[in-house]
Amino acid sequence: MTTAHRQHTEHQHVHGPGCGHAEVVHGDHVDYAHDGHLHRQHEGHWDECEPTGHTECAAHDHVHGEGCGHDAVQHGDHVDYLHDGHRHAAHDGHYDEH
């Protein structure tokens, strides 16, 4: 799964520990959930950190939802759940890696 490089040009807020937005460890960096988007710092600016393509999370036997024990992060028109260092989103009867 790759991530598109789309700069978030209207970003006035500086993210960091204690900024009030959910932190999501994503590979070699940290994303911040902000206004339904995931932002990451990149070369002095903020990028939208959104995956390209479709990557199914195989062998996922846990059902995410209210009270499942995992943090929920609003992501556009759906909710991702933070699980074992990944973001999972329900999709057509399975979970996708986000």
Measured between its terminal Cα atoms, the distance across the chain in Å is 9
- Sign for the CA dihedral angle at 81, 84, 88, 93 comes to negative
pLDDT of residue 6: 61
What token pair was written down for 90? 């329900």
Global pTM reads 0.60
Domain residue limits, the chain: 2-97
What is the rounded distance in angstroms from the CA atom of residue 77 to the CA atom of residue 75? 6
Across the range 85-98, mean pLDDT stands at: 81
Give the neighbor-by-neighbor strand order of the sheet with 37-42. Answer: 6-7, 45-48, 37-42, 29-34, 23-26
Q: Look at residue 67 and tell me whether its pLDDT is greater than 60.
A: yes
| pLDDT single digits (tens) 7-18 | 555 667 778 888
What token pair was written down for 51? 């995956």
